[in-house]
Structure 1
Amino acid sequence: MRTKNRAQRTLLTGVALLLAGLFFFPTYWMINSSLRPSNANLTTEYDLFPTSITFDNFVTAVTRPGFTNFLTNSLIVAVGAMLCAVAAGILAAIPLCRLRFRGRRGFVLLVLIAQLAPLEALLIPMYLLMRDVGLLNMLPALLLVNVATTLPFTIWTLRGFVNGIPVDLEEAAMVDGCSRWGAFRRVTLPLLGPALVSTSVFSFITAWNEFLFALVLMRDQSNQTLPVWLSTFSTVFGTDWGGTMAASVVFALPVLIYFLIVQRNLVAGNTAGAVKG
C-alpha cells in the first residue's frame, strides 16, 4: 500500500510539473525574446536559451514616445476602477444579504446575467452613451466602463462572503451599543479582508488589460492606456518583436508586483469565496 501511494504521488507530481511547464513556457518565451537582439528574433532557428543577452529592447520600449503618459493613464484607470468597484460592491452586497425586500432575488439574477454578457455586445451602447454625456476621449469614460464590467463579479463574490459571516455577530455588537453602521465597520468589514483582496485583484487585472474600449473610446493618444501602447509596436512596415516582448514584460510588472503583495490574502479569499453561496 505504501509503494502504491508513493507511485501515485510521483505520478501526480510529474503531471503537476508538466502542467506548470506548459503554463510557464509562454512567459519564458516572452522573457527570452525580450533579451535577444531584434534581428535574432526574425530567424527561423530559435535557441531555447539565449546565446547573447541585450537590454536594448527594454530601452527602446520605455523610451518610446508617450510611454510615461500611457503608464499614468493605465494606473489611474485601473486603480480608480478597482476602488470604485470594490466600494460599490460592498454597498450592494450588504443589503442583498442582510435585508429582505421585494425583488431581491430578481436583482441577484440580473447581476448574474450581467456577468455573463459579452463585452463586445456592450461596445456600441457604451460608445453612444459616452458620446451623449460628453465623456468621449476622457479618462472618466474608461473608468466607468471598467467599473461596469467588473461590478457584477464583485457583487457576486462579496455576497458569498457576507453570507458566510453570521448575522449574530452584528446583532451582538448592536446589543453592546453599536449602531448598524458601527457593527458593520467594527465586525463585518474586518472579516471581509480576503474578499476585498480577491475582488480588488480581479478588478485591477481586468481594467489593466482592457484594450477594446480604450482603443474605441479614447481617440486622443494622450488619453490612451498601455494595452493600446503595446499595439504601436506593430506597423505597416513590420513588427518589432524584440520591443514587443520587452514592452509586454514591462506591462506585466505592475500586476505581478501587486499580486506578490496580496498573494496570501488572495489564496484565502478565493478558497472561501468558492464555497460560499
Structure 2
Amino acid sequence: MSATVTETEAVTTRTAAPARPARRRRRPHIGANVIAIVFSVVWVFPVYWMLITAFKPRSDVMTPTPQFLPMHPTLENFINAVTKTNFLLNLRNSIIVVGCAIVFAMLIALFASAALSRFRFRGRRTIMVLILAVQMLPGAALLIPQFLIFNDLGLLNKYIGLILAYVAAVLPFSIWSLRGFFVTIPVEVEEAAMMDGAGTWTILWKVLFPLVIPGLISTSIFGFITAWNEYILAYTFMKDTTMYTLPVWLVSFAIPNQPVDYGGQMAASLLFSLPVVVFFLIIQRHLVTGMSAGAVKG
C-alpha cells in the first residue's frame, strides 16, 4: 500500500514540476502587457481629451482645473462648426476630390503594379527605382514645380487640378504596395489559366484581380487617409475659399491675433475625423471578405 502511495506521489510530483517554468515564462508577458497598456493610454488620451472638450461649453474649457468629464455637456460647438462656417461646402469639395483621386490612383496603380510584377521588359528596374525615389522625396520639394506647371496649364482653383495633384501624391506608394501583393501570387495560377485558354486581360481581371482585392482595399485606405489629410496642396492650389477642402477649413479655427475657440476646434476635429473612421469601418468588412474570397483554394 505504501509503495503504491509513493509511486502516486512521484507521478504527481513529476506532473506538477513543469509548472514553475510556465510561471516564469508568464512574467515577461505580463511586463509586455503593462508596457502595451501604458502606450495605449498615452496614445488614446489625446483623442479622449478632444472628444470631451468638443462637448464642453467655453466656460468649462478655459477653467484652470482640468475636467476629465464634461460637467455641462452641450452640442453648441458642433452646431457652430457646421452652421457658422463653410463646413458642408468644404466637405463636398473633399469628398469629390479625394473620391476621384483614389479611384484614378487605384486604377493606375493596379495596371502599373501588374506590369511591373508579371512582365519582363527593358527599363522595368529603372521605373521601379524612379517610383521609389519619388516616394522618398518630401512633398514640399515638389510643391513649387507642381504649382508652376498647373498654373501654366490653367488647372489652379479647379477640381481636376487638385485631383491630379492628389493622384501624384498617392500613386508611388500605391504601386509599390500593390506590386508586393502581385508578387506573392504563384505563377502556377496564371499558367493554369493559360492552359485553359485564357488571354492576358482575362487572367488580369478574372484570376489576378480577385486575388489582390485585399491589397487593393488596404492600399486604398492608406491613399484615402493621405489625401483626406492633405493641407498644403489644397491651400496652395485653391484660391477661392469656396473651393477649399476640410483640412483648410479646420485650420481656419486658429486665426492669428484672435482667441482660439478650443471647443469649436475640437468639435471640428471630430467632424473632420468622422468620415475617415466611417470609411475604414466600411472597408474593413470588405477587407475580411476579400481576404477569404481571394485565398488560393487547393
TM-score, normalised by the number of residues in structure 2: 0.87
Q: Secondary structure at the match of 1:239?
A: coil
Number of corresponding residues: 270
The one of 107, 124, 136 equivalent to 2:156 is: 136
Match of 1:262 among 266, 283, 286: 283
Cα distance in 1 for partners of 2:84, 2:121 equals: 55
Structure 1 residues 7, 268: closer, same or farther in 2, change over 3 A? Answer: farther
Q: Which gives a bigger RCO, structure 1 or 2 (Cα 8 Å, sep 6+)?
A: 1
1:3 corresponds to which residue? 23
1:186 alignment counterpart? 206
Counterpart position of 1:275: none
AA in 1 matched with 2:281: L
| 1:67-111 Cα distance to aligned partner (Å, 9 max, x none) | 111000001111111111111001111111111111111110111
> Which amino acid counterpart does residue 161 of structure 1 have in structure 2?
F
Q: Secondary structure at the match of 1:51?
A: coil
Q: Is the 8 A contact 1:162 1:192 kept in 2?
A: yes
Alpha-carbon separation, structure 1, partners of 2:259 and 2:197: 69
Q: Say whether residues 1:243 and 2:279 are aligned partners.
A: no
The CA deviation at 1:8 is 2.0
Structure (1 or 2) with the larger CA radius of gyration: 2
Contact 1:158 1:195 in 2 (8 A): yes
RMSD: 1.7
Deviations 1:170-224 (A, max 9, x none): 2211221211101111110000011001110011111100001111110101111
- For structure 2, which runs of at least 5 residues remain unmatched after alignment? 1-20, 292-298
Equivalent position to 1:26, from 28, 46, 49: 46
How do 1:23-62 residues align onto structure 2 when only pairs under 5 Å count?
Answer: 23-62=43-82
Amino acid at match of 1:217: F
**TM-score normalised to the size of structure 1?**
0.93
CA distance in 2 between counterparts of 1:246 and 1:261 reads: 23
Match of 1:95 among 87, 97, 115: 115
Match of residue 218 from structure 2: 198
What's 2:187 paired with? 167
**Cα distance, 1:52 vs structure 2:** 1.8
Offset of residue 266 of structure 1: 5.4
After TM superposition, the structure 1 stretch with the greater mean CA deviation from structure 2, 54-63 or 234-243, is 234-243
